[in-house]
Each structure stands twice: as C-alpha cells, then as structure tokens.
C-alpha cells in the first residue's frame, strides 16, 4: 500500500462510440474507423467510476489512468481525468496500428503490467471487455503477468481502508458468486457495478491541467506484433421478414414443418 491509501491503475481504451452504427471498410478487413465518433469504452468508464468511489471513500489515495493507442487517445484519457483520475499515462502506438485488431490482449496486458510495476500500484481496475473486439481477456492476462489474484465480472467490490483483501460479487452463469481476493489484485468491472458520473464542465477544464506522461513504446520493451490475423470481415446476413399466423395450430405446424424446431 502506498502512502495513506491504495494506488489504483485504471485502463481506458478508445473505441467507436456505442451509439454509432458501424460499417465495414472498403477492404472488408474491419470496421471503418475514419470519420466516426470515438469515445471511452463504456466498461472502462465503470472501472474509472469505481476507482473514484474508492478515492472518495478514503480507500484509494491516487488514481492513474492509462491508455494505449494513437495520439488521439489522449482525448479519452482526459475524459477519465475529468471523471476524477489524478494523472494519465499514454503509451502511444505507431500510426496504422488498429487498436481493435492489431493491438491484442496479450500485448495490452504486458503494457499495463509494465505501467503497474513502474508506478507500484496496489489495484488494477479494468472493464471486463472492450466493445470493439469483445475479447474479454485483458484483465485475466494482467493478473497472470503480475502474479496477482483477480476478481472478474465484478458487480460489487467491497474494499475498506487498510484492508488486506477485497470481497467481490461476480456474475456467473448460475447466479452470483462471492469471493475474497487478497491484495494486490486485478478487478474487471461488469455493467451492474455502478453508474458512471458525467464529467462536469469545471472538471473537464481541470482535467486539461492534470499531468499526462507519454511513455514511448520502445521503453516498455513489449512486442505488440499481433498473434492473430483477421483475414476477412463480413456483415451478418439479412434476417428474413417474419410472418403472422392466424391460430395456434398454424404456429405449431410452421414450427414443426418449416423451422424444424419440434
């Protein structure tokens, strides 16, 4: 534990805004990123909010927000700072690296682990997944890289000042699971953990003055070469129009003879 409270690292990612209707690029190799609105990954907003709540409760003493991406990713980093993070760290990737395909979870986990060690953090908070690749792997890989315990898909994190462990509630297929995780630890956030606050105009202005450290990718000595290659991306087929039936008997007949469901 650092100082009078925990030092928390939050990972934040630049993604296509969730409200944007995505379209394929001309080469059919991925989603078109040019000229579309980009935002902070919604699950990372939840992670940032949880870190700020820990600081408001006196459990955390410092929040470090880290983003990995092109120079434009500083915009999303500033959003996290406006929400309440104290400082930012930006690991800039070369032009042409697609953060939704080329920057894959293994590389990201190693970069975040590098930052966690550099700043001697006690807790790493990450969204459970990014809405662009939906991999849902980074938190688990960071835990393995650091050799720390982890609580994934957290819908509740109970962590008190001075405590040596956290009690987390996880959403699993069969319901809810409650586990105790010793610190230091990695937590990934689920939708029901909290409701992120809006960044107010005064806080947005203050965020512009908060420190942001740019760490050259070469300094991390992490190879970000992708292990997987996307060969082709295609849109799902159009759904057939539904039909109305006049009776239960007709419905059963269609389910049995056309849909082959019964």
Report if residue 31 sits inside a domain. Answer: yes
Report if residue 262 sits inside a domain. Answer: no
> What is the pLDDT at residue 174?
85
Q: Which residue has the higher pLDDT, 149 or 238?
A: 149
The yes-or-no verdict on residue 61 having pLDDT over 60 is yes
The structure tokens listed for 6 are 């925990």
> What is the pLDDT at residue 83?
95
The percent of residues in the chain predicted with pLDDT above 90, rounded, is 64
Q: Which residue has the higher pLDDT, 259 or 110?
A: 110
For position 22, which CATH number holds? 3.40.50.620
The yes-or-no verdict on residue 259 having pLDDT over 60 is yes
Distance between CA atoms of 165 and 119, rounded to whole angstroms? Answer: 20
Quote the mean pLDDT of the chain.
91
The yes-or-no verdict on residue 3 having pLDDT over 60 is no
The predicted-structure confidence for 165-182, as pLDDT tens digits, reads as follows 999 999 888 889 999 999
The yes-or-no verdict on residue 85 having pLDDT over 90 is yes
| pTM metric for this prediction | 0.86
> What is the pLDDT at residue 256?
87
Structural domain boundaries, residue 246: 6-257
Report if residue 1 sits inside a domain. Answer: no
Which of 208, 215, 135, 188 is CA-nearest to residue 10?
188
The answer to whether 43 and 129 have CB atoms below 8 angstroms apart is yes
Q: What is the arithmetic mean of pLDDT over 82-108?
A: 91
> What is the pLDDT at residue 77?
94
C-alpha dihedral, 175 to 181 to 184 to 187, nearest 10°: 0
Query: What total of structural domains would you count in the chain?
Result: 1
Distance between CA atoms of 144 and 28, rounded to whole angstroms? Answer: 34
- Ranking 93-107, 111-125, 170-184 by mean pLDDT, the lowest is 93-107
Which of 116, 117, 62, 112 is CA-nearest to residue 86?
62
Angle among Cα 16, 30, 228 to the nearest 5 degrees reads: 110
The yes-or-no verdict on residue 1 having pLDDT over 80 is no
Angle between helices 74-83 and 42-56 (to 10 degrees): 30
Distance between CA atoms of 157 and 169, rounded to whole angstroms? Answer: 7
Distance between CA atoms of 55 and 84, rounded to whole angstroms? Answer: 9
Phi and psi of 44, rounded to 5°?
-75, -30
Report if residue 248 sits inside a domain. Answer: yes
Rounded to a whole number of angstroms, the distance between the first and last alpha carbons of the chain is 60
Q: What is the arithmetic mean of pLDDT over 132-144?
A: 93
Report if residue 96 sits inside a domain. Answer: yes
Instruction: Say which residues have a Cβ less than 8 Å from residue 51's Cβ, sequence separation at least 6.
Output: 8, 10, 60, 63, 84, 85, 125
> What is the pLDDT at residue 68?
95
DSSP characters over 119-169: TT-SEEEEES--TTT----HHHHHHHHHT-EEEEEEEEEE--TT-SEEEEE
Report if residue 189 sits inside a domain. Answer: yes
Q: What is the arithmetic mean of pLDDT over 27-53?
A: 90
How far are the Cα atoms of 1, 35, 100, 101 from residue 96, in angstroms, in the given order?
Answer: 39, 15, 12, 11
Distance between CA atoms of 50 and 156, rounded to whole angstroms? Answer: 10
Strand pairing report for 6-11 and 123-127: parallel
> What is the pLDDT at residue 35?
82
- Ranking 1-5, 28-32, 94-98 by mean pLDDT, the lowest is 1-5
Distance between CA atoms of 190 and 64, rounded to whole angstroms? Answer: 20
The predicted-structure confidence for 191-237, as pLDDT tens digits, reads as follows 999 999 988 899 999 999 999 999 999 999 999 998 888 888 888 88
Q: What is the arithmetic mean of pLDDT over 128-143?
A: 92
Phi and psi of 55, rounded to 5°?
-70, -40
The yes-or-no verdict on residue 2 having pLDDT over 50 is no
């Amino acid at each position: 534990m650092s100082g009078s409270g925990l030092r928390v690292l939050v990972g934040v990612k630049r993604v296509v805004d969730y409200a944007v209707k995505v379209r394929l690029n001309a080469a059919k190799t991925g989603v078109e990123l040019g000229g579309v609105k980009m935002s902070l990954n919604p699950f990372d907003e939840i992670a940032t909010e949880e870190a700020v709540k820990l600081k408001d409760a006196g459990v955390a003493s410092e929040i470090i927000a880290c983003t990995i991406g092109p120079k434009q990713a500083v915009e999303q980093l500033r959003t996290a700072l406006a929400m309440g993070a104290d400082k930012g760290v930006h690991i800039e990737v070369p032009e042409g690296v697609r953060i939704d395909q080329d920057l894959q979870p293994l590389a990201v986990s190693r970069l975040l682990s590098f930052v966690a060690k550099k700043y001697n953090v006690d807790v790493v908070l990450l969204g459970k997944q990014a809405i662009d690749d939906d991999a849902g792997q980074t938190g688990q890989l960071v835990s393995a890289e650091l050799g720390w315990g982890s609580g994934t898909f957290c819908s509740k994190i109970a962590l008190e000042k001075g405590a040596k462990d956290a009690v987390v509630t996880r959403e699993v297929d069969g319901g809810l699971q409650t586990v105790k995780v010793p610190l230091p630890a990695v937590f990934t956030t689920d939708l029901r953990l909290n409701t992120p606050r809006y960044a107010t105009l005064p806080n947005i202005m203050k965020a512009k003055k908060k420190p942001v450290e740019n760490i050259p990718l070469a300094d991390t000595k992490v190879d970000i070469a992708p292990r997987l290659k996307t060969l082709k991306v295609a849109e799902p087929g159009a759904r057939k129009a539904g039909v109305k039936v006049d009776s239960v008997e007709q419905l059963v007949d269609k389910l049995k003879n056309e849909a082959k469901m019964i």
